[in-house]
Amino acid sequence: MTYCVGIKLDAGLVFLSDSRTNAGLDAISTFRKMIVYEQPGERFMVLLSAGNLSISQSVREMLQVEKLDNGDKPPITIWNAESLFDAVRVLGSAVRRVYEQDGPSLKAAGVDFNASMIFGGQVKGEAMRLFLVYSAGNFIEATRETPFFQVGESKYGKPILDRVLTPDTPLEEAAKCALVSMDSTLKSNLSVGLPLDLAVYQRDALQSSRLVCIDEHNPYFHMIRATWGQRLRQVFESIDDPQWNGGAAANPLCVPDARHAPLRKITHPGERLI
């Protein structure tokens, strides 16, 4: 299992992934789930992957050589695609080609063809884009209403993203939010683990120097883990306990309502349940 998140903002893009893979309780390994494709001044693209590791690695290799027919023009690759839409089409084609090669053998072995990916970035001359790619090679694009995608073990880290992120969230704040989301996942699921890979991209830069691998000794992430848990407890303790009898409580938990009355056993002939 893994956890990856990609965020699209007005100011740029944020990508974060863990690196744990496991095939059982005693077979845990570390593999990078993020790969960055950069041609400074021309294009910047990031691929995050989750699911079957052998499939993801095969897709990565295939993506380096995959080409789409372009009529009389040179074939489209991720390095000459004129739009990120064309680049993600190349990625989808690579996924389908791996399925054609390995799908039947995996099925015969009782293994599902399971891979999902986040692919985003910017090509010179167009706006930033972010896509979620499914195991069939099809994909959807992030919108202002849905500014982030997750793959892998997503449920633990989603609430903070839902509450904090909007398209106008600053880049550094979004990176902090992604790290809190990852910390929540690490806390609740042993199949997600350090080190982490973080990439932050500023709009129209067409390159990035904000790439970092985060391990258990990273001072900022160590601060995030300690502070987030402490502040959550402080906020929790600052909320009033439930007041059952109402009275002077500003927000009573229980107000008079016949619907709350329990059913009672009939003890006298002719008595009705209330």
Q: Are strands 148-152 and 20-22 parallel, antiparallel or unpaired?
A: unpaired
CA 220 to chain centre: 21
Q: What pLDDT, on a 0 to 100 scale, did the predictor assign at position 159?
A: 97
What are the pLDDT digits (tens) for 88-115? 999 999 999 999 999 999 999 999 999 9
Question: Quick one: which of 81, 115, 75, 119 has its CA closest to 98?
Answer: 115
Percent of the chain clearing pLDDT 90 (strictly above)? 83
Task: Answer yes or no: are the C-beta atoms of 165 and 7 closer than 8 Å.
Answer: yes
Give CA separation, 246 vs 5, 237, 240, 260, in Å. 43, 20, 13, 15
Q: CATH fold of 3-233, please?
A: Glutamine Phosphoribosylpyrophosphate, subunit 1, domain 1 (3.60.20)
- Non-local (6+) Cβ contacts of 151 within 8 A are 2, 3, 4, 48, 49, 50, 51, 116, 117, 118, 132
pLDDT of 269 > 80? The answer is: no
Mean predicted lDDT score pLDDT of the chain? 93
pLDDT of 255 > 90? The answer is: no
Q: What pLDDT, on a 0 to 100 scale, did the predictor assign at position 250?
A: 79
pLDDT of 62 > 70? The answer is: yes
Residue 61's region, left for phi above 0, alpha for psi from -120 to 50, else beta, is alpha
Residue 76 per-residue DSSP state: B
Average pLDDT of the residues in 68-78: 96
Q: What pLDDT, on a 0 to 100 scale, did the predictor assign at position 270?
A: 65
Residue 24 binned pLDDT confidence (cut-offs 50, 70, 90): low
What are the pLDDT digits (tens) for 138-190? 999 999 999 999 999 999 999 999 999 999 999 999 999 999 999 999 999 98
* C-alpha to C-alpha distance for 158 and 148, rounded to whole angstroms: 10
Task: Answer yes or no: are the C-beta atoms of 205 and 44 closer than 8 Å.
Answer: yes
